[in-house]
Structure 1
Amino acid sequence: MRFTPLSIFSLACWSFLHSGGAAKEETGPTGALQIDLVFPRNETYSPSPIMPIVFSFRNTELLPFLRPTISYEVWNYDNFSADAARGDIEVPSVNETTVNPHIEFKWHLHHFNTEGTWKASFHIRWIHCYVSPADQGRGELDMLDVNETDIGVIFTTKGTSKEIDLVEATSKNCSSPVGTTIKVTDSMRTPFSSSAYDQDVCPVVASPPIEADSCDVTLDATVASSIDAAMTSWVCNEFWETARPQEVNCSSQKEEESTALRSVAGGVTYLAFILGVLVLI
Structure 2
Amino acid sequence: MVLLLTSRRVAATILLSCVSAVEAIEFPATLEVDIIYPRNGTFAPTVLTPIVFAIRNPQLAEPLDINFSWDIYKESQPLGDGPFSSGSKDLRWVDFSNISDPYFVYTYSKMLDVEDSWWIRWELAWGNCSKIPSTIDSVEISFGRRNNVIEFTTKNGAKQLDLASVNTPDDDTCGNVTDTRVAFNVTGVLDTPRPDKYDDRETCAVLAPPSNATAPPPTRTCGAEVGASAASSISAAITSRACAGFATDPNVTCPPESPSSAAKSKEVQFLAGMTTWLNTLVFAGVAYILIA
Query: TM-score when scaled to structure 1?
Result: 0.68
**Residue 190 (structure 1) aligned to one of 185, 189, 192:** 192
Q: Counterpart of 1:219 in 2: which secondary structure?
A: coil
Q: RMSD over aligned Cα, in angstroms? A: 3.0
Alignment of 1:230-241 (within 5 A): 230-238=237-245
**Residue 224 (structure 1) aligned to one of 231, 236, 240:** 231
Report deviation, 1:61.
1.9
With over 3 angstroms needed to count, the CA separation of the structure-2 counterparts of 1:231 and 1:201, relative to structure 1, is: closer
Q: Contact 2:56–2:102 at 8 Å: present in 1 too?
A: yes
Aligned to 1:101: 102
Structure 1 residue ranges (4+ consecutive) displaced by more than 6 angstroms after TM superposition: none
Deviations 1:247-273 (A, max 9, x none): x323x3548xx8xxxxxxxxxx9xxxx
Percentage identity across paired residues of the two chains: 24
Aligned to 1:73: 71
Q: Counterpart of 1:175 in 2: which secondary structure?
A: coil
Alignment partners' CA distance in 2, 1:234 and 1:165: 19
Amino acid at match of 1:75: Y
Larger relative helix fraction: 2
Alignment partners' CA distance in 2, 1:240 and 1:126: 34
Report deviation, 1:142.
2.9
Query: TM-score when scaled to structure 2?
Result: 0.66
Alignment partners' CA distance in 2, 1:215 and 1:34: 12
Aligned to 1:244: 250
Q: Contact 1:233–1:253 at 8 Å: present in 2 too?
A: no
Q: Counterpart of 1:78 in 2: which secondary structure?
A: coil
Alignment partners' CA distance in 2, 1:51 and 1:238: 16
Q: Counterpart of 2:121 in 1: which secondary structure?
A: strand
Q: Contact 2:127–2:143 at 8 Å: present in 1 too?
A: yes
With over 3 angstroms needed to count, the CA separation of the structure-2 counterparts of 1:139 and 1:227, relative to structure 1, is: closer
Aligned to 1:153: 150
Alignment of 1:135-214 (within 5 A): 142-160=139-157, 164-171=161-168, 172=171, 173-177=174-178, 178-194=180-196, 196-206=198-208, 207=210, 208-211=213-216, 213-214=220-221
Alignment of 1:17-96 (within 5 A): 29=25, 30=27, 31-79=29-77, 80=79, 81=81, 83-91=83-91, 93-96=94-97
Report deviation, 1:221.
2.2
Q: Counterpart of 1:238 in 2: which secondary structure?
A: coil
Q: Contact 1:116–1:158 at 8 Å: present in 2 too?
A: yes
Report deviation, 1:193.
4.0
Runs of 5+ consecutive residues of structure 1 not aligned to the other structure: 1-26, 259-268, 270-281
Q: Comparing 226-235 with 33-42, which one deviates more in the overlay?
A: 226-235
